[in-house]
Chains A and B, each alone.
Chain A
Amino acid sequence: MTPEKKRWFVMGGVAFAIAAGLSTLLYYQHEGIERRRAEVSVLKQQIEQDKELLQKTPDLVKKVIIQRETDAIVKEMLSDEKDVTNLARTLNRFSEESGFTLSSVKDGTRTTRKSKEDFERVSYTLAFEADAFQLLSFLHKIEGHKRFMSVVAFKLQAANRNEYTQDAPPRHRVTLDLETYVYAPTGNAKEVKIDHYDKKKELLISEISKRGAELRFPAYDYRGQRARRDPWIDPRVPVDGGPTMPIEDQIALVDGLAEKAVEVQKVWEEAQAAENLIQTMKLRADLETKLALLEEEIRRVDSAGFLVFVPAMRRFDKNVVEVVAGVRTAMAKGEGGQGPSTALLRETHEAMQRHIDIQEYELALAAFATVESRLGLADQDPLKEPLVQGIRELKHLADTVLAFEKIELRIGGVAIYEGKDPVVLINGQAYGEGDMLDEELIVHNIRPDQIEFAFRELILARPLEIRPSG
C-alpha cells in the first residue's frame, strides 16, 4: 500500500471516527433530552397533583380546626385515669341521690388495650336494692353523666309480695354491669400550626357546635314517676278492702300531696331564713294556710281509706305525713312558750268549720287535736282568746253531734193529729214534744219527716226512715 493510500485510509478512519463520535454524542444527547422530557412530564403531573391537593387545603384546615375543637369534647366525654379512680365515688353519689345504697361494687376490670388504640375499657358490676323508679333515676344519672358510661347488662328480681306488706318499702334486687372507657391517646398528634387559628375558629363556631352535638350521646329526658305504678310490684289488692280507688289515681293523689308537702317544707325554710319580721310574718301566715289545708287533706285520705296500694301508702307516710309532722313539730318548738300563733288558730278554726260543713265531725276533732295541748297558753292572750273560744265551740259541736249519732234511737212512727200534740214512738215508747229521753236528750220538735232533739244545748234532727207502703 502506497503511503498516499495509507494516508487516505487514515483520513477515512478519522472521518469515520468523528462521525461515530458525533453519532454517539447525538444518541446520548437525545437520550438525555428524552429523560429530561420524561422528568418534565412527571414533574408536570406531580405539580398538577400538588395543585389539586393544595386546592383542598382550606377545607382540610377547616376540618382540622373542627376536629381539634371537637376532640376536646371527646376528651370531655371519655374518662381519664383520675375519673376512673373517682368512678366508685360517683356511683355512690348517684345511688344516694336516687334513694338507695349500693350493696356491692365489683372492682373495674380493664381489658388489655390493643396497640395504637386510644381507648381502654373498664367494667364494673354493681348490686343494690331499689324500686323501679329509683333504678330509673340511677340509670338516668349514669347514662346522662358527662363521662361516657354504658349499661351493658342488668338483672332485676322483683321484691316478693310478702316483703312489701311489712314495714320495709318494696325493694327489687338489681345487679348491673356497666362499662366506661379511659382515653389515653397513643398517637403523636403533632399539632400543625394554623395561621389565624382563633379567627378561623370563630368563623367555624356553628359547625363546631353542630359536630359536637353529633358526637355527644343523645340524652333521654327522664321525667320521674309521673303517677305511674312500679310494674315489678304486684298491684293486686285484698278483696276485703271493698271497692278501691284505681292504683294510678292513688299514686297521683300521693304525688299531689307530696308536692304540697315539699312546698310546705320550702315555705318553712324560707320563713326561717327571712331577713325581717314582716317577711317572717307573711311567710308564717302563708305556711299556716298551706299546712292547715294539707293537714285537712291528710285527715281526709286517712279517714276515707283511699290508699290500699302499699307503695302509695308508704310514700304517703314518708313523703307527706312525716314531712308535715316534722314542720309542725319544728314550728311548735319555735313558739317560745306563747302557744299557737293567731294564724294557726285561725287556720285551725277554718279547717274545723270546713269539716263540720261537710259533716266530717271526726276530722274536725282530729284538726282540733293538733292544737289542743297548746290552747291553754293561747287562752291567756286576749288577742287569741276569741279564736280559741271559737275552736272550742266547734269542738263541742263536733263532739255533741258524734255523741248524738251514737245514741240508739229506733223511731217507730209519728202520730200527728189536728188539735192534738204530736206523738213519736222511740225505742218502743211514746214521747211528745218536751219529753226527756234521758238527762241530756229532749224531744224538741216532731215533724212528719224528722224528729228534732235538744241535746247538750244543740238542736239535732233524726230523719224518719221511709218504709215502702204495702
Chain B
Amino acid sequence: MILINLLPDELRQKKRTPVKLLLAVAGTVAVNGTLAAYWAWTAFGVSAEVRSELSLLQEQKAGLEPQVAYHRDLEKESALFDAREEKLKSISANRVSWTRKVDELIDVINVGGDGEKYLVWLDDLNVDQKESSRNKSFGSLKASGHSGSPSFAHVANFLDDLERSPFCEDFNKPSNPEGSQTAKDEGLMPAEVWNFPLQVTLKAPDERRRGPDGKLLPPPDKKAAPAPTKKKPTGGKS
C-alpha cells in the first residue's frame, strides 16, 4: 500500500534529522577524526622523530664501522701472534738448561774437596725429560755414584749439599741416602769406597720457570708470596 500525503505544504509536518542519527553521525565523525588525527600525529610526529633518530644512529654506526673493522683486523693479526707466542711458551716451558744443571752438579761434587767432606765421583748419568701426566712426572736425572771414604756419612754430606745447592732448584728432593760398600782396594787411595744411587726428579714446568736473568721465578699462583731464601751448601760432619 502506498501512502500519499495530500496535506498542503504548510500543513505538512517538517522533515528533521533524527537526533539519534545525528548523534551517530557525529560520533562516527569524531571517532574517525580522532583516529585520523592520532594517525597524523604518530606518522608526522613520533614516527618521523624515531625515523630521524634511527637514521642518525645508522649514520653514526656507518661512521664507526671502518674503525671497528680496523680494530677487528688488528685483533685478528694480534690473535695470530698470540697463538705463536703461546706455542713458543709451551715449547720453552719444558726446556731445561742442562748446561746449568750439569755445571751445578759438578760444583757440588767439587765442594767436597779432596775427601775432607766427601770425595764423590760418578759412573754414568742418565737424563730424561719424558713427561707422564698419569704419574705426574716431568723427567729425571739418575747416576751411579761412589764415595771414597770408609764413612757412609760422606754420602749423606754430599746429598745434603746437593739438596741445598742451586742444582736442586729445578728438582725435587733427592731420595734418602742408601748404598753398599765395595771390597777394599789397597792399591788405591782411598781404599774404601761406598757405592750409592743418585736419583732426582724434575719439578713441574711451572715451578722451574726462569726469568730473563736466569733466576727462578715464583710459581704463578704464589706470586704474592715472598721468595724463599736460598740456602748455601754448608759443611757436613763426617
Pick from B85, B148, B212: contact of A213, CB under 8 Å: B212
> Which of A185-193, A382-390, A438-446 contacts its partner?
A185-193
* Residues on the B chain within 8 Å of A78, using CB: 88
Nearest residue (CB) in A for B104 is A220
CB distance from B81 to the nearest CB of A (A): 4
> Which of A44-52, A198-206, A332-340, A451-459 contacts its partner?
A44-52
* Residues on the B chain within 8 Å of A25, using CB: 39
CB distance from B197 to the nearest CB of A (A): 15
**Is A412 close to B, CB under 8 A?**
no
Q: Are B43 and A239 in contact (CB under 8 A)?
A: no
* Residues on the B chain within 8 Å of A187, using CB: 80, 83
Docked complex Cα distance between A61 and B61 (Å): 22
**Is A63 close to B, CB under 8 A?**
yes
Nearest residue (CB) in A for B50 is A36
Interface positions, chain A 232-259, Cβ under 8 Å from B, are 232-239, 246-248
**Is A10 close to B, CB under 8 A?**
no
Nearest residue (CB) in A for B71 is A57
Nearest residue (CB) in A for B87 is A119
**Is B42 close to A, CB under 8 A?**
yes
Interface size class of B (residues with CB under 8 A): 35 or more
Q: Are A118 and B54 in contact (CB under 8 A)?
A: no
> Which of B1-9, B173-181, B183-191, B228-236 contacts its partner?
B183-191
> With contacts A22-B32, A25-B39, A36-B54 known, is A140 near B99, CB below 8 A?
yes
**Is A218 close to B, CB under 8 A?**
yes
Docked complex Cα distance between A12 and B20 (Å): 13
Q: Are A132 and B106 in contact (CB under 8 A)?
A: yes
Pick from A33, A54, A222, A247: contact of B99, CB under 8 Å: A222
CB distance from A1 to the nearest CB of B (A): 15
Please classify the interface of chain A as helix (H, G, I), strand (E, B), loop, or mixed, using the class held by over half of its residues. Answer: helix
Q: Are B47 and A44 in contact (CB under 8 A)?
A: no
Convert A199-227 into 0s and 1s, putting 1 for each residue whose CB lies closer than 8 angstroms to a CB of B.
Answer: 00000000000000111111111100000
* Residues on the A chain within 8 Å of B83, using CB: 118, 187
**Is A3 close to B, CB under 8 A?**
no
Interface size on A, residues (CB 8 A): 92
Pick from B31, B51, B74, B84: contact of A64, CB under 8 Å: B74
* Residues on the B chain within 8 Å of A139, using CB: 98-99, 102
Convert A15-45 into 0s and 1s, putting 1 for each residue whose CB lies closer than 8 angstroms to a CB of B.
Answer: 1101100110110011011001101100110
**Is B206 close to A, CB under 8 A?**
no
Convert B197-238 into 0s and 1s, putting 1 for each residue whose CB lies closer than 8 angstroms to a CB of A.
Answer: 000000000000011111000000000000000000000000
Q: Are A32 and B74 in contact (CB under 8 A)?
A: no
**Is A399 close to B, CB under 8 A?**
no
> With contacts A19-B32, A33-B50, A219-B214 known, is A232 near B71, CB below 8 A?
no
Pick from A26, A77, A118, A229: contact of B38, CB under 8 Å: A26
Pick from A37, A118, A217, A230: contact of B84, CB under 8 Å: A118
Docked complex Cα distance between A143 and B120 (Å): 27
Instruction: Supply 15 A–B pairs (Cβ within 8 Å), ascending by A.
Output: A15-B28, A25-B39, A33-B47, A136-B102, A218-B213, A218-B214, A220-B97, A222-B100, A228-B110, A229-B109, A231-B109, A232-B123, A235-B121, A238-B189, A247-B114
Query: 4 tightest A-B contacts by CB?
Result: A22-B35, A67-B81, A246-B114, A15-B28
Further contacts, 9 of them, CB under 8 A, given A29-B47, A57-B74, A230-B106: A16-B28, A30-B42, A36-B47, A40-B50, A51-B64, A64-B78, A156-B124, A247-B114, A248-B110
